[in-house]
């Protein structure tokens, strides 16, 4: 049985991705700082006949990341796939963007990925390969948004991470790719405080060529492709999945 570890798997894109892998017969290692949500998706997967277990994980802690990844690898061997999905996106105007707020975003959205990739890649090398997928954003590739400069900068960093590791790890049979989602119907996007809110999200559909906002499952399916053998010759790439927003509007 193949094993996949997903960070931020309790809600949104992470949750949809965990359920997708569970339905395909993978052993799903659900990790999240949100224990109740993480346990809930784990229960959903097992109730549907899949195999899953939950490990509480705060990706801002190097010690915690290494402990969780290490424990999983000790029990099951090298991961076949690692999905670095955990992230935050808080709306903060520049005048209020303190060093602490900037650093907190980077600790989760960028450095949090590195913390789980390091121990996972070490075992993948010994096993002869593996697949890593990192979640960026359209705001990390070509799209600026008011009061989200820290988020855009961190997600741009994810693009650099994917490219650099894609090259460095290719010789070890490890593929590293990314996904840059557009407007997706998640709790984050539905937050009026930090994003568009319900009405704003529906209004966004008016200028998306596909005519709708994306669903978490739309991203999960692309992650599935990137992990699969169908993407065996792809590495160091970030795939934009936005319903045509960037090419249609810009």
- The one catalytic residue among 76, 143, 151, 183: 151
Tell me the DSSP string of 157-213. HHHHHHHHHHHHHHTTTEEEEEEEE-SB-STTTT-TTTS-HHHHHHHHGGGSTTSS-
Nearest to 6 by CA among 132, 141, 152, 175: 132
Is 183 marked active-site?
no
CA distance 44 to 32: 15
* DSSP label of 186: S
Residues across the chain: 250
Catalytic positions: 151
């Amino acid at each position: 049985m193949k094993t996949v570890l997903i960070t931020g798997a309790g809600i949104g894109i992470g949750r949809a991705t965990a359920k997708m892998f569970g339905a395909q017969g993978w052993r799903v290692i659900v990790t999240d700082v949100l224990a109740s949500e993480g346990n809930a998706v784990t229960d959903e997967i097992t109730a549907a006949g899949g195999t899953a277990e939950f490990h509480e994980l705060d990706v801002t802690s190097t010690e915690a990341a290494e402990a969780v990844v290490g424990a999983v690898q000790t029990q099951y061997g090298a991961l076949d796939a690692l999905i670095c999905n955990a992230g935050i996106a808080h709306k903060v105007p520049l005048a209020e963007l303190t060093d602490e707020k900037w650093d907190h975003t980077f600790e989760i959205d960028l450095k949090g990925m590195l913390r789980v990739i390091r121990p996972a890649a070490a075992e993948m090398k010994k096993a002869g390969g593996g697949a890593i997928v990192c979640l960026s954003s359209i705001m990390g590739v070509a799209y600026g948004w008011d009061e989200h400069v820290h988020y855009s900068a961190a997600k741009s960093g994810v693009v650099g991470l994917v490219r650099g590791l894609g090259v460095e790890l290719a010789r070890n049979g490890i593929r590293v790719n990314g996904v840059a989602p557009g407007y997706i119907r998640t709790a984050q996007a539905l937050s009026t405080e930090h994003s568009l809110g319900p009405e704003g999200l529906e209004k966004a559909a008016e200028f998306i060529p596909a005519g709708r906002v994306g669903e978490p499952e739309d991203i999960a399916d692309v992650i599935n492709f990137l992990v699969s053998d169908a993407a065996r010759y792809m590495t160091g790439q970030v795939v934009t999945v936005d319903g045509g927003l960037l090419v249609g509007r810009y």
